[in-house]
Structure 1
Amino acid sequence: MQLFLDTGHSERTPRQEPPRGTCLEIVPETGRDGGRGALLACAEGIADRPEAEKAARIAITALADSYYAAPEGWALRQALEESVRAAHQAVLAGGERGRAAVFAALVLRGRRWLAAHAGHARIWLFRDHELRLLTRDHLIPRPRRRPEIAKALGLASEIDAEYHSGELAEGDVFLLTTPGAHDALDAARMRGVLEADAGAEHIAETLATRAQEAGAPGYAGVCAVRVEKLPPESIADTRESVADLAFVEPPEVGTIIDGFRVDKLVYRSRRYRIYKAADTENGATVALKFPDPSCREDPEYARSFLREEWIGRRVDNAHLVKALRPRPGRRRALYVVMEYHEGEPLAKRIRRKGGLPVEEALRLAEQMLEALGALHGHGVIHRDLRVNHLLYDKAHRRLLLLGLGESRVEALKEGADGSATSAWSYQAPELFEGKAVSERTDIYSAGVTLYRMITGEYPYGRIRAPRWEDRAYRSMNEWKPDVPEALDAVVRRACEVNPSERYASVAQFASALARVGAELSGNRYETRPHGERETSDGSRWTWVVLASLLAGLVAYLAVALR
């Protein structure tokens, strides 16, 4: 039996004022929510900051998109926490600097509820004729001035939201209100509306209207949800970790696991294995990524494994392998289902060709940076970019970026700090020192990767220990004399030891490479006049031959037609 809910929301804005907030209610059909349940949220942009309405709308959209993209194995708290961070990052990214929004969010799943908020948006629970405020306002009092908002999405570099949870009871009514609503209505007036035992839509509409009539100074938003019927208790109600998805031994070829037939082992490393498999439910060919059993005792590894799946669902780009969502309840072990692509590991292609031609390397670098740009646009730092995590799809001449398990997501700290991974020759120097990562960290790795594409070597030599020693950059011309100096200069800047001296963004790096590519194309074009002269000489002789043949044909016809 499923959880039955009655939901509704209403919004009011004074005339001639732009709306500064937005409300959201999502109640997916059973079996189509990925086990995430219902989500209600409201947000309001801070009035004295830029793009107030846009900040609220972006926050709510990012929150919902991220929440329903969360892997099935994530606990409810983890899914909501990381979605709040995603919303925070979305408000920070792009747009005018300084925009921010207060918010409140409520998740109802199974027999439990979970709430999150920052600022002075509020969440209330009406149970047994008692209206209880579940949240506390994040405000700092100031003499003779309006209180200062202490917490909000986009307000600081990181978000410190507050979370509350509890058991549901049939008949519960939850309210989410923006400041304009509860500042105009006291708890007694709100309780009077709730005592009428009306539907959720009517409750929200009545409260928002009365707030406006009471002189709400700005936007007034109200979300309401009534718990009509609870389902039987399940293990999902008490899940607090990814322990429900257990480590299993990597499957043997030919076996079936959760309805996936394992057909072929296509890649093996110290930490995971990738198989080609067939989905027996729909016949699709997929890739299954299983952790190596040696990682069983590492609790962070399971989280990083599922983090890769979450990113693969949220970030849509032609050069990223898409993670697929198994049918809810189908997956019983720890593995990731992904799109399957035939291809050649880029590391193998580089070895086979003794380094790639400059033109090919530039084309692949453009695709690599496009994938990185898509990740950075979602607040994701890859942290482990290298040729071993790039796959070349020969059929479509397309590069695919893998290895997202080490990524840092929206300032997520668990297992994604500044420590270096095992691919030391690709790691930015700041990682060896445990410093914070940024887009420039990925730009360094991208520069090393491009260097290796062309030369098969490393710009600072092979690094065999997890520490950085002063080394001199070696020009690509030492390995490949035909590499243009302009290209070497671009790669050198991407690989600068000091992060502040690298390109500030992937877009800048890509633009610099595009200019080099344009110069190379121009140089090829400038050599054409000589070729054209040769072609002209050849064409003169061609016309002589054709004229002779035509004359012969005319003479033949003249004789034949007599």
Structure 2
Amino acid sequence: MNNSSLTIQAGFASLQGRRADNQDYVGWVEPADAQALTLRGVVVALADGVGGAKGGRQAAETAVRLFLDGYYSLPETLGPERMAMRALSAANRWIHSLGRRDNELAHMASTFSALILRGRHAHVLHLGDSRVYRLRGDSLERLTEDHTLGGADLSHVLYRAVGLEEELRLDYAAHVLEPHDRFLLCSDGVHGVLRESELQQLLRERGAPQHSAERLAQLALDQGSHDNITALVLDVLCLPLPDRAELRHALNTLPIREPPAAGRNIDGFRLERLLSDGRYSRLFVAHDSGSDATVVLKFPQPRVVSEREYHDAFLREAWIGARIQSPWLAEIIELPPGRQTCLYSVLPFYLGNTLEQRIAGGWKIDTAQGVDLALKLCRALHALHRRRVIHRDVKPDNVLLLEDGGVRLLDLGVARLPAWDEAADAPIPGTASYLAPEQFHGERGNERTDVYALGVTLFRLFSGGAYPYGEIEPFSTPRFTSAKRLTDYRHDLPAWLGGVLAKATAADPQERYADTLELAFDLEHGLNKGCPLKPARKSWYQRNPLRFWQTTALLLLILLLLSLARLHMLSSAPT
């Protein structure tokens, strides 16, 4: 499977049901040519002919065929929305004209729902009461609204359809795609009898698309559907990687504005409270009205660095977030095109505290807990390094400890990316106390410098906040002569752990671990072989035998006295 291109699998089922004929029609195009797939994408469409008018089947088939032919014949520079609108408008005019000229096809019309998958986005087009659903994870969401009149007797009366009016009134929406998204396009013969909970349950089984479509259609028939029954199921298997030039163009068009205050609404996000207000960025906990989720919005602080540097930082985070998925790295939420009006990032809201906050609170961690956290951070950095990405700002402030025991490594805005041009005289990014010695002499960042920063972070974790070479002031030139030992701060920790951290923070990069895998191996080996066993808890007798026998004698005396008293009571009782 080619992980650099859009890959889907689809299947459909269409049943005549209890109608005299089948007026539903389905079509899809998945270009075999890689260029056409990239520029125009995959298109699936479903139409349901209006049953109360003549020519319903002809309207449905004509709408789908003309739309697909028109869409793929238009220049891709128009973009999916305009291409789709032009193609469907032409089909609408033709069908509307036929319905007015030909008495055999009078008032012919059809519902229409289509899905265009291009790049990393899904474009939804809709008219009528067919529907498009998306299953993401275990959650099912309806992406369309029915264009029907209200009321029990009018629930199937359409006020929008292809061919119904001369001018097309089309619903359009764009959504960000994720791998393993599952889409369902269905006619009212399916959703009219199956509850959304039933649709969700069957789609969550994740059978092959063809099998799932056939099961949905048969279930609708078994439950008494009186209409034509059509279901199309599509799975997104792989997504193309985002193009850096496209990302840069998209971000560079977004202006940098003064960070807003809590209570404001920005692009459908309500800023509920301030999370942090740092030198370079301001973070808010926000509510996303689109997904009803709690998220974090990160705004740049203007006038601290140049606009180019801010755009580059946000570009790095978006580029890495789209390419590297790891349970140990913070995610970046991609927004649909056109929603964002200024520069900011959207992240999931994680419940927890930073490692810096825990250290400042006096957290005294034991060996096993600390090594477990260290191994998680090694995995986070390895996920980056295997894709040739260098973090360059590993520190406790950028380590988030989640309430559920998870860990997230934050802030990839200064990461070094493969083939990413940097000026030779540009400042070395990062925090002074975590920069490796060679970075003060021109090294721009590599795996060993990340290991050093992780080593300093772990030294502070175990020592209670101390630095192996002392805290370093920005713009200074420190001398890495004598490092502190971990045992200077924690006599209860094993010697091997101090040796591992000393190697991770060695001033000479050649004496340091070459990568996080080597560091993780020594941590695991030390924990398994060199960690002192906790002594078994001694019994009371072992701890204080004298007190044990004294207590035992006292209890025996009490039992003897109680027995004598009972005998006395029995002997003195009247016969």
TM-score interval, smaller chain: 0.5 to 0.7
Which residue in the other structure is 2:333 paired with? Answer: 324
CA positional deviation for 1:476 = 1.2
Residues 373 and 534 (structure 1), Cα distance of their counterparts in 2 relative to 1, 3 Å cut? farther
Which residue in the other structure is 1:8 paired with? Answer: 32
- Give me the whole-angstrom Cα distance separating, in 2, the residues matched to 1:478 and 1:489: 13
- Give me the whole-angstrom Cα distance separating, in 2, the residues matched to 1:378 and 1:532: 57
CA positional deviation for 1:353 = 1.5
Q: Give TM-score scaled by structure 1 length.
A: 0.53
Deviates more, 1:316-325 or 1:292-301: 292-301
- Give me the whole-angstrom Cα distance separating, in 2, the residues matched to 1:69 and 1:460: 46
Q: Is the 8 A contact 1:273 1:290 kept in 2?
A: yes
| Superposed CA offset, 1:183-217 (max 9, x none) | xxxxxxxxxxxxxxxxxxxxxxxxxxxxxxxxxxx
Residues 328 and 401 (structure 1), Cα distance of their counterparts in 2 relative to 1, 3 Å cut? same
- The amino acid across from 2:459 in the alignment is Y
Which residue in the other structure is 1:250 paired with? Answer: 259
Q: Is the 8 A contact 1:408 1:416 kept in 2?
A: no
1:448 has 2:456 as partner: yes
Q: Is the 8 A contact 1:315 1:375 kept in 2?
A: yes
| Superposed CA offset, 1:518-540 (max 9, x none) | 2465522xx22856985999999
CA positional deviation for 1:29 = 5.2
- 1:80-479 to 2 correspondence within 5 Å? 240=249, 242-295=251-304, 297-353=306-362, 355-393=364-402, 395-414=403-422, 419-421=427-429, 423-455=431-463, 456-466=465-475, 467-479=477-489
CA positional deviation for 1:272 = 0.5
Which residue in the other structure is 2:239 paired with? Answer: none
Q: Which runs of 5+ in 1 are unaligned?
A: 11-22, 39-66, 71-235, 553-562
Q: Is the 8 A contact 1:295 1:301 kept in 2?
A: no
CA positional deviation for 1:258 = 0.6
- Give me the whole-angstrom Cα distance separating, in 2, the residues matched to 1:329 and 1:411: 29
- The amino acid across from 1:498 in the alignment is D
- Give me the whole-angstrom Cα distance separating, in 2, the residues matched to 1:282 and 1:397: 26
- Give me the whole-angstrom Cα distance separating, in 2, the residues matched to 1:316 and 1:415: 29
SS at match of 1:405: coil
| Superposed CA offset, 1:269-306 (max 9, x none) | 10011110010012111111110112463312211122
Which residue in the other structure is 2:493 paired with? Answer: 483
Q: Is the 8 A contact 2:494 2:532 kept in 1?
A: no
- Give me the whole-angstrom Cα distance separating, in 1, the residues matched to 2:504 and 2:289: 46
- The amino acid across from 2:371 in the alignment is L
- The amino acid across from 2:454 in the alignment is A
Which residue in the other structure is 2:536 paired with? Answer: 528
- Give me the whole-angstrom Cα distance separating, in 2, the residues matched to 1:396 and 1:417: 43
State percent identity of aligned pairs: 32
| Superposed CA offset, 1:164-194 (max 9, x none) | xxxxxxxxxxxxxxxxxxxxxxxxxxxxxxx
- Give me the whole-angstrom Cα distance separating, in 1, the residues matched to 2:78 and 2:386: 25
Q: Is the 8 A contact 1:387 1:449 kept in 2?
A: yes
SS at match of 1:276: strand
Within the candidate set 22, 28, 31, 2:41 is matched to 28
- Give me the whole-angstrom Cα distance separating, in 2, the residues matched to 1:349 and 1:264: 22
Q: Is the 8 A contact 2:391 2:415 kept in 1?
A: yes
- Give me the whole-angstrom Cα distance separating, in 1, the residues matched to 2:416 and 2:78: 23
Q: Is the 8 A contact 1:417 1:437 kept in 2?
A: no
- The amino acid across from 1:444 in the alignment is Y
CA positional deviation for 1:9 = 4.1
- Give me the whole-angstrom Cα distance separating, in 2, the residues matched to 1:314 and 1:397: 25
- The amino acid across from 1:410 in the alignment is P
Within the candidate set 472, 488, 510, 2:520 is matched to 510
Residues 280 and 513 (structure 1), Cα distance of their counterparts in 2 relative to 1, 3 Å cut? same
Residues 533 and 359 (structure 1), Cα distance of their counterparts in 2 relative to 1, 3 Å cut? farther
SS at match of 1:264: strand
**Cα RMSD between the aligned structures?**
4.1
| Superposed CA offset, 1:98-142 (max 9, x none) | xxxxxxxxxxxxxxxxxxxxxxxxxxxxxxxxxxxxxxxxxxxxx
Count of residues in Structure 1 that have an aligned counterpart in Structure 2: 339
Within the candidate set 499, 502, 505, 1:495 is matched to 505
Q: Is the 8 A contact 2:331 2:348 kept in 1?
A: yes
Q: Is the 8 A contact 2:279 2:304 kept in 1?
A: no
CA positional deviation for 1:457 = 0.8
SS at match of 2:251: coil
- Give me the whole-angstrom Cα distance separating, in 1, the residues matched to 2:473 and 2:283: 27
CA positional deviation for 1:429 = 1.2
- Give me the whole-angstrom Cα distance separating, in 2, the residues matched to 1:265 and 1:5: 47
- The amino acid across from 1:499 in the alignment is P
- The amino acid across from 1:453 in the alignment is L
Q: Is the 8 A contact 1:350 1:356 kept in 2?
A: no
Q: Is the 8 A contact 2:31 2:41 kept in 1?
A: no
- Give me the whole-angstrom Cα distance separating, in 2, the residues matched to 1:507 and 1:414: 28
Q: Give the structure with higher Rg (CA).
A: 2
Residues 539 and 372 (structure 1), Cα distance of their counterparts in 2 relative to 1, 3 Å cut? farther
- The amino acid across from 1:398 in the alignment is G
SS at match of 2:507: coil
Q: Which runs of 5+ in 2 are unaligned?
A: 1-27, 45-76, 81-117, 122-244, 564-575
Q: Is the 8 A contact 2:286 2:297 kept in 1?
A: yes
- Give me the whole-angstrom Cα distance separating, in 1, the residues matched to 2:431 and 2:247: 38
CA positional deviation for 1:24 = 9.9
Residues 267 and 239 (structure 1), Cα distance of their counterparts in 2 relative to 1, 3 Å cut? closer
Q: Which structure has the higher relative contact order (CA within 8 Å, separation 6+)?
A: 1
Which residue in the other structure is 2:137 paired with? Answer: none
- The amino acid across from 2:286 in the alignment is A
Q: Is the 8 A contact 1:317 1:371 kept in 2?
A: yes
| Superposed CA offset, 1:46-102 (max 9, x none) | xxxxxxxxxxxxxxxxxxxxx9679xxxxxxxxxxxxxxxxxxxxxxxxxxxxxxxx
Residues 308 and 415 (structure 1), Cα distance of their counterparts in 2 relative to 1, 3 Å cut? farther
SS at match of 2:276: strand
SS at match of 1:300: helix
- Give me the whole-angstrom Cα distance separating, in 2, the residues matched to 1:356 and 1:434: 35
Residues 240 and 290 (structure 1), Cα distance of their counterparts in 2 relative to 1, 3 Å cut? closer
- Give me the whole-angstrom Cα distance separating, in 1, the residues matched to 2:466 and 2:497: 16
| Superposed CA offset, 1:235-294 (max 9, x none) | x99995733111011111111111011111111210011110010012111111110112
Q: Is the 8 A contact 2:30 2:42 kept in 1?
A: no
- Give me the whole-angstrom Cα distance separating, in 2, the residues matched to 1:508 and 1:309: 29
